[in-house]
Amino acid sequence: MHFSSAHEASRLQLNPQGRLRHFLTTEGLSREQLTEILDTAEGFIDPVSGVIRNSPLLAGRTVMNLFFEASTRTRTTFEVAAKRLGADVLNIDISKSSTSKGETLRDMLWNLQAMTADIFVVRHGDSGAPHFIASQVTPKVAVINAGDGRHAHPTQAMLDMLTIRRHAGAFENLSVAIIGDIRHSRVARSEIHALQTLGAKEIRVIAPRTLLPRDFDNLGIKVFERMEEGLADVDVAIALRIQNERMESALLPGADEFYTLYGLTREKLKYAKPDAIVMHPGPINRGVEIESEVADGPQSVILHQVNYGIAVRMAVLSLAMQGQMDGR
Amino acid sequence: MHFSSAHEASRLQLNPQGRLRHFLTTEGLSREQLTEILDTAEGFIDPVSGVIRNSPLLAGRTVMNLFFEASTRTRTTFEVAAKRLGADVLNIDISKSSTSKGETLRDMLWNLQAMTADIFVVRHGDSGAPHFIASQVTPKVAVINAGDGRHAHPTQAMLDMLTIRRHAGAFENLSVAIIGDIRHSRVARSEIHALQTLGAKEIRVIAPRTLLPRDFDNLGIKVFERMEEGLADVDVAIALRIQNERMESALLPGADEFYTLYGLTREKLKYAKPDAIVMHPGPINRGVEIESEVADGPQSVILHQVNYGIAVRMAVLSLAMQGQMDGR
Amino acid sequence: MHFSSAHEASRLQLNPQGRLRHFLTTEGLSREQLTEILDTAEGFIDPVSGVIRNSPLLAGRTVMNLFFEASTRTRTTFEVAAKRLGADVLNIDISKSSTSKGETLRDMLWNLQAMTADIFVVRHGDSGAPHFIASQVTPKVAVINAGDGRHAHPTQAMLDMLTIRRHAGAFENLSVAIIGDIRHSRVARSEIHALQTLGAKEIRVIAPRTLLPRDFDNLGIKVFERMEEGLADVDVAIALRIQNERMESALLPGADEFYTLYGLTREKLKYAKPDAIVMHPGPINRGVEIESEVADGPQSVILHQVNYGIAVRMAVLSLAMQGQMDGR
């Protein structure tokens, strides 16, 4: 699945009034649109206690989780978020066989739509699958991308943006480093687009050459192969998860050597600013991408990320539902 | 499991006031009783927008889905319907081993009843299992048959009746043809009983001799072996799903030959009335029972069937619950 | 996992005001504390109809079922109880691999806590796992023990206590016999602690020597090897479930011989008081621990136990949530 431009992909997720009616990618959305998501999410968080408050914005709505690729963790966050908005949530069992042919997938989705689905939360191993569903199959069901192939993971990116805004401050003052397997990471792609749009002062990636994307020159970000240089004076350090299956391939020299070179240790973290925050999309491989003492240390905001993920998903679900209604 | 008469099976699903308290079969129910189900379902559909409206008729009730035979599709429709009525819904994991002995099944059901179940939605591979549960095991739990063996699939039949009434008009003016594997189809059985009771002008079945039931003479319906004759001037054409496992057996000459002879194509549909509607219980085997252009064409009401299925299941769930309460 | 004393284990489950904030074990709780659970449960039961009433005490709360050991039956009772209290309930899929290392379990639990879980219902094959979670991992999430190893099954014990109180009367007048595999039974352990605290007149266990615990002397209960003597004039007879895997081991002489010696038959039940009640934690092995005619007979309260289990779990869930809130 390819889209000719960020413009086209972005337009697909907006209604005629320019409001979100799907949430497929951070790419191509405006600073105002991303900021609205962050502000809406923040509105669910009690300013004093920090507790996430419920809101009946999706009462009577039916949210269907379609996880073609298993992820208990992400599915659970969407299930909690939708229920906190008063929605009925169904986790659809998807047999892999029934999705091998595009046409069968189409029929399945048409049927789920006819069963009065209002929102599909879609995770799929193929890049572009949520776009395909939103554009070609069920445009009147709000489609939320919960991760597609190597393409995008926009709710993860937005919860990271909310974490940065709350714990590190205004984007225009911030230098942000993303560390690890940039090439295969949909999280990194979505983060970079969001950081650029939100006006981060500086975006860096730190990775061995084998884990850098090939088409990276035009993204306007700084590339480092050594942690000492890449982390120097950053405000935010984001360690990516290394997929175990990749560590066994020829791309990487093994978990031990990766940790030695790129593991986020107390030692290496000293290169960053003293109050730099440490983030990770989870689940953590302790001793591979990150030292336990850093993950659990005072600079880590990793569990805040998880918590804000509920608020961000509540924001995206309710905004897209509203955009669907207004756009009809 | 055998019942000596339609009268007995029907009586079992009625309370002393003659109202539904289980929904096991369309057989033996009166025209008034079937019409009440259709009218109740129609009451959930907004007359202007066609949107299905929620109603708190089952608030505080516990609905348990007991699918001894897997069916994500049908289970999902019942889950949506029950949640739209405000019920708590539990999908019970049923290990096949625990149901091999009748006595163990009985203990399991007694336990679920004691866990304050109000309604069991039962799908079972054995014909008569829902009757057995309603009559012998848990008569005070409302039992809804979601398909039992080759016996009955009454909610599918009733959503088909609602589709026909809304899209083709009054039953007494209609000629309805059912095409395909009549012999093994619980859908066909339940449809035929409902059509007879509701006073359809003419009921036809079109099938190769090997797929006709043996005890068919006394059902008062017309049998055709050729589509040209069977479809002539019908108002409604219902293509049944061919089970893949059957196509590999000696009963059928193979998917290609079946499609040539009995596939509902644009070509063959010309024999029907020009405004005839096309139906299918789903999931569709495109290019086996039905041509894609027919399934997706202007005469197809297949996705309306799915949508009305929610309203019909809401109707049956709420009527049976009410009948249980009144009958106590 | 070992706790130095009942006192320590008990203290862990109480907030500074001495109210329940976790429910991990019946051991070490006071008579007043156990009685409060029973009274709260009884408050959910309509005194006239016996129907269990809903209450919105957990509205807006998120309950997560963490069953590291599968149990559809117990999980279902907690799911029904939590939904009757208005909670959102999530059944978390737990891959066994992710729990092989303590640290990974810890990360998973921290993440679920950050996803705004209010209550964890934990079943685990290792004794002490719920204590470990409540003390070391997520003390601000209310932890309910749904059975841990051979250690405790406190909600089962408390539903048994409620059954005894409602059907046999005041504990101080009662002689209670527990029959079967005492050594491996977490149910028996929790029952014995609860019966002692609630002041039962006499507690007996009846078992072959191989199924008695080795450290039994100090529990102050009477041990019998013969049913005739052990059942003599008891008010309550509780048959434990024999695990099939144990019957195949060298510990037991086989199901037939066990039934001959220890099966609760009409014949043997005659030794008890004429109005003695018969209990079993379920699921029943008919013809192994208990004769079918006894399980289904007039003295059996087995299905009442299941029913009261909903009310007791509602009580424990709502009390622990309240204790968490008050204790913060």
Q: What is the 3-state secondary structure (H, E, C) of B108-140?
A: HHHHHHHCCCCEEEEEECCCCHHHHHHHHHCCC
Nearest Cβ partner for C80 among B93, B108, B115: B115
Burial B200-233 (b: 16+ CB within 10 A, else e): beebbbbbbeebbbeeeeeeebebbeebeebbee
Q: Distance, in angstroms, between B185 CA and closest chain A CA?
A: 21
Q: Distance, in angstroms, between C103 CA and closest chain A CA?
A: 9
Structure confidence at residue C3 (pLDDT):
47
How far apart CA B287 and CA B295 sit, in angstroms, is 10
B neighbours by CB contacts (3+ pairs under 8 Å): A, C
Q: Which residues of C touch A50 (CB under 8 A)?
A: none
Burial A32-64 (b: 16+ CB within 10 A, else e): ebbbbbbebbbebbeeeeeebebeebbeebbbb
**Do residue A284 and residue C114 have CB atoms under 8 angstroms apart?**
no
Q: Which residues of C touch B113 (CB under 8 A)?
A: 303
Indicate which of B58, B90, B112 best probes the interface with C, i.e. most C CBs within 10 Å of its own CB.
B90
Instruction: Judge whether residue A44 has pLDDT over 80.
Output: yes
DSSP string, B253-266: S-HHHHHHHH-B-H
Return the domain boundaries, chain B: 6-152+307-326, 154-303
How far apart CA C272 and CA C168 sit, in angstroms, is 13
Low-confidence winner among A34-48, A98-112, C148-162, C230-244 (lowest mean pLDDT)? A98-112
| CB contact at 8 A, B37 and B167 | no
Indicate which of C54, C156, C285 best probes the interface with B, i.e. most B CBs within 10 Å of its own CB.
C54
Return the beta strands (E) in chain C as ranges: 62-67, 88-91, 119-124, 142-148, 175-179, 202-206, 222-224, 236-239, 277-279
Position B318 confidence tier, pLDDT thresholds 50, 70, 90: very high
How far apart CA A195 and CA A176 sit, in angstroms, is 9
Residue of A nearest to C116 (CA): A307
Per the document, the length of chain A is 328
* Greater model confidence, A244 or B12: B12
Q: What is the mean pLDDT of chain B?
A: 91
Residues C161-197 pLDDT 10s:
999 999 999 999 999 999 999 998 999 999 999 999 9
Percent of chain C with pLDDT over 90: 79
Residue that has been written with the tokens 């449960």 in this structure: C41
Position A100 confidence tier, pLDDT thresholds 50, 70, 90: very low
**DSSP at B243:** P
Q: Distance, in angstroms, between C122 CA and closest chain B CA?
A: 18
Position A3 confidence tier, pLDDT thresholds 50, 70, 90: very low
Q: Distance, in angstroms, between B66 CA and closest chain C CA?
A: 12
Q: Distance, in angstroms, between B310 CA and closest chain A CA?
A: 6
Structure confidence at residue A82 (pLDDT):
98
How far apart CA C313 and CA C162 sit, in angstroms, is 12
Position A251 confidence tier, pLDDT thresholds 50, 70, 90: low
Q: Token pair for residue A284?
A: 């953590």
- CA atoms in the 13 A half-sphere facing the CB of A194: 30
Question: Diameter of chain C by CA atoms?
Answer: 56
Q: Which residues of A touch B310 (CB under 8 A)?
A: 115-116
Residues A262-295 pLDDT 10s:
999 999 999 999 999 999 999 999 999 999 999 9
Distance in Å from the first CA to the final CA of chain C: 27
How far apart CA B18 and CA B9 sit, in angstroms, is 13
A neighbours by CB contacts (3+ pairs under 8 Å): B, C
How far apart CA B321 and CA A271 sit, in angstroms, is 67
How far apart CA A10 and CA B326 sit, in angstroms, is 56
Q: Which residues of A touch B63 (CB under 8 A)?
A: none
The closest of C303, C262, C260 to C282, measured between CA atoms, is C303
| Averaged pLDDT, B268-275 | 98
Correct CATH for C154-301 of 3.40.50.261, 3.40.50.800, 3.40.50.1370, 3.30.505.10: 3.40.50.1370
Q: Which residues of C touch A303 (CB under 8 A)?
A: 110-111, 113-114
Q: Taking the C-alpha atoms of C148, C150, C152 and C158 in order, what is their torsion angle to the nearest 10 degrees?
A: 110
| Averaged pLDDT, A143-156 | 96
Residues B126-168 pLDDT 10s:
999 999 999 988 989 999 999 999 999 999 999 999 999 999 9
Structure confidence at residue B278 (pLDDT):
98
How far apart CA C198 and CA C221 sit, in angstroms, is 14
Q: Which residues of A touch B73 (CB under 8 A)?
A: 111
Structure confidence at residue A18 (pLDDT):
92
Nearest Cβ partner for A76 among C103, C107, C115: C115
| Averaged pLDDT, C66-78 | 93
ipTM computed for the complex: 0.93
Nearest Cβ partner for A110 among B76, B83, B303: B303
Residue of A nearest to B306 (CA): A114
How far apart CA C314 and CA C296 sit, in angstroms, is 27
SS3 C147: strand
Position A11 confidence tier, pLDDT thresholds 50, 70, 90: confident
Query: Was domain B6-152+307-326 assigned CATH 3.40.50.1370?
Result: yes
* Greater model confidence, C328 or B137: B137
Q: Token pair for residue C107?
A: 């990360």
Residue that has been written with the tokens 């984001």 in this structure: A238
Indicate which of B78, B88, B303 best probes the interface with A, i.e. most A CBs within 10 Å of its own CB.
B303
The closest of C149, C193, C159 to C279, measured between CA atoms, is C159
The closest of B219, B155, B201 to B6, measured between CA atoms, is B219
Q: Distance, in angstroms, between C114 CA and closest chain A CA?
A: 5
Q: Which residues partner with A279 through β-bridges?
A: A238
Nearest Cβ partner for C80 among B90, B95, B103: B90
Residue of B nearest to C55 (CA): B60
**Do residue A80 and residue C103 have CB atoms under 8 angstroms apart?**
no
Residues C96-138 pLDDT 10s:
445 444 457 899 999 999 999 999 999 999 999 999 999 988 9
**Do residue C283 and residue B111 have CB atoms under 8 angstroms apart?**
yes
Position A10 confidence tier, pLDDT thresholds 50, 70, 90: confident
Q: Token pair for residue A186?
A: 């949909």
**Do residue A310 and residue C112 have CB atoms under 8 angstroms apart?**
no
DSSP string, C89-127: EEE----GGGGSSHHHHHHHHHHHHHTT--EEEEEESST
Q: What is the mean pLDDT of chain C?
A: 91
Nearest Cβ partner for A73 among C111, C113, C116: C111
How far apart CA A129 and CA C83 sit, in angstroms, is 35
How far apart CA A55 and CA A31 sit, in angstroms, is 26
**DSSP at C23:** B
How far apart CA C177 and CA C191 sit, in angstroms, is 11
Structure confidence at residue B3 (pLDDT):
47
Q: Token pair for residue A318?
A: 């309710």
**Do residue B283 and residue A111 have CB atoms under 8 angstroms apart?**
yes
| CB contact at 8 A, B103 and C286 | yes
Structure confidence at residue C66 (pLDDT):
96
How far apart CA A124 and CA B157 sit, in angstroms, is 35
Query: Was domain C6-151+307-326 assigned CATH 1.10.1740.10?
Result: no
Instruction: Judge whether residue B8 has pLDDT over 50.
Output: yes
The closest of B158, B293, B168 to B234, measured between CA atoms, is B168
DSSP string, A37-106: HHHHHHHTB-TTT-PBPP-GGGTT-EEEEEESS--HHHHHHHHHHHHHTT-EEEE----GGGGSSHHHHH
Residue of A nearest to B78 (CA): A115
At the top level of CATH, the class of A154-303 is: alpha beta
Q: Distance, in angstroms, between C322 CA and closest chain A CA?
A: 17
The secondary structure of A221-255, three-state, reads CEEECCHHHHCCCCCEEEECCCCHHHHCCCCCCCH
Q: Distance, in angstroms, between A42 CA and closest chain C CA?
A: 15
**Do residue A76 and residue C88 have CB atoms under 8 angstroms apart?**
no
**Do residue A80 and residue C115 have CB atoms under 8 angstroms apart?**
yes
Q: What is the mean pLDDT of chain A?
A: 91
The closest of B235, B240, B237, B236 to B282, measured between CA atoms, is B240
Chain C residues at the B interface, defined by Cβ less than 8 Å, are 52, 54, 72-73, 76-77, 79-80, 83-84, 282-284, 286, 292, 303-304, 306-307, 309-310
How far apart CA A269 and CA C273 sit, in angstroms, is 74
Nearest Cβ partner for B283 among A62, A90, A107: A107
Residue C36, φ and ψ in degrees, nearest 5: -65, -40
| Averaged pLDDT, B21-32 | 96
Residues B38-82 pLDDT 10s:
999 999 999 999 999 999 999 999 999 999 998 889 999 999 999
Indicate which of A159, A285, A300, A306 best probes the interface with C, i.e. most C CBs within 10 Å of its own CB.
A306
Indicate which of A107, A109, A140, A141 best probes the interface with B, i.e. most B CBs within 10 Å of its own CB.
A107
* Greater model confidence, C94 or A251: C94
| Averaged pLDDT, A283-310 | 96
Residues A166-220 pLDDT 10s:
999 999 999 999 999 999 899 999 999 999 999 999 999 999 998 988 776 556 7
Low-confidence winner among A152-161, B100-109, C94-103, C170-179 (lowest mean pLDDT)? C94-103
Q: Distance, in angstroms, between A120 CA and closest chain B CA?
A: 14
